[in-house]
Amino acid sequence: MKIIAYLVLLSILGSITWKYPFLFELPLIGAIAGAYWLFFRQPDQNTKPEDHQKPQSQQANRENALLPLHKRPD
């Protein structure tokens, strides 16, 4: 579904650029921003916490960073 939304966004931006060629940067900026927004953004903060993976504490992150790779927890 995300790919279809991305392609629709690109087609809309392409049609605007086809009609107004001086807006040639619009599809490029829209493609980058749309890809980030659809595929790489973090989940909303309004959802339930159990829906997300629990982050480790900062202390655990520091301790794991000091361990050799073969001794780090999964």
State the Rg of the chain over Cα. 20
Q: For every one of its 74 residues, what pLDDT tens digit does the chain have, with 9 covering 90 and above?
A: 888 988 998 999 999 999 999 988 988 999 999 889 888 877 666 655 555 555 556 566 666 666 565 555 65
Residue 74 CA, chain-centre distance (Å), reads 24
Residue 74 lies in a domain: no
pLDDT for the residue numbered 74: 56
pLDDT for the residue numbered 3: 86
pLDDT for the residue numbered 68: 65
pTM of the model: 0.51
Of the candidates 59, 57, 69, 7, the residue with the CA atom closest to the CA atom of residue 34: 7
Residue 65 lies in a domain: no
pLDDT for the residue numbered 48: 59
Residue 7 lies in a domain: yes
Residue 25 lies in a domain: yes
Domain that holds residue 6: 1-42
Residue 18 lies in a domain: yes
